[in-house]
Amino acid sequence: MPYIFDELEDPIWQMLSSVKRPSRYAGGEWGADGGLVEGKERSSICLAFPDVYEVGMSYLGFQILYNMASGIPGVRVERTYCPWPDAEAYMRENRMALGSLESGRPLSSFDVVGFTLQYELTSTNILTMLDMGGIPLNVSERGEKDPLVVAGGPGAFAPEPLVPFFDAFCIGDG
């Protein structure tokens, strides 16, 4: 049956109707445009919070970083969050890549993916996000076309357990 509205053919709509809290994945926040018209950027960054949307959105440091990075000329900045298990299962079953909140671009299409390391319990979420975003987990498996994967925040004070998965760390918080 053809849809009346073309946007309903977008696979995200089927996912939104299949999960418990679709607002986690819908995007469309006021003022969240990434700073540039898509296609006009010289480089792109996806800031990744390795927990669900409502946890990441309540973290002021992530908001400040997004705002500051969006002000860099020629850089498009978008965000992503870890999907809840219901969305993860749907996305894996339907072979949907984890993308950014603003445009839905897969993580693998960005120049840089930057994770905030707030606490150790999100380490497994980082691996889930890399895998779902189409980025090889280990640095040694990545090529020139894969994004740089960086991390910072309070969890980066002792980065050794995560070294195989990140290209670089910003040690410390702030």
In a domain, 100, yes or no: yes
In a domain, 22, yes or no: no
Domain interval for residue 56: 44-171
Provide the CATH number for the domain around residue 162: 3.40.50
How far apart (Å, rounded) are the C-alpha atoms in residues 63 and 46?
Answer: 13
In this predicted model, what pLDDT tens digit does every residue of 37-52 receive, in sequence order? 556 778 999 999 999 9
Q: If you average pLDDT over every residue of the chain, what do you get?
A: 85
In a domain, 18, yes or no: no
pLDDT class for 84, splitting at 50, 70, 90?
Answer: very high
In this predicted model, what pLDDT tens digit does every residue of 101-137 receive, in sequence order? 888 899 999 999 999 998 888 999 999 999 999 999 9
- 116 backbone dihedrals φ, ψ, rounded to 5°: -95, 130
The stretch 41-70 carries a mean pLDDT of 90
The pLDDT value recorded for residue 165 is 97
The pLDDT value recorded for residue 131 is 98
Question: Token match 């870890």: residue?
Answer: 82
**Residue of 12 and 170 predicted with greater confidence:** 170
In a domain, 153, yes or no: yes
CB 118 within 8 A of CB 153: yes
The stretch 150-171 carries a mean pLDDT of 92
R_g over Cα of the chain? 16
Nearest CA-CA partner of 51 in 158, 161, 157, 155: 155
Q: How many domains does the chain contain in total?
A: 1
CB half-sphere exposure, 90, CA atoms < 13 A: 17
- For residue 11, is pLDDT > 90? no
How far apart (Å, rounded) are the C-alpha atoms in residues 14 and 23?
Answer: 13
- For residue 96, is pLDDT > 60? yes
pTM recorded for the entire structure? 0.85
In a domain, 112, yes or no: yes
In a domain, 16, yes or no: no
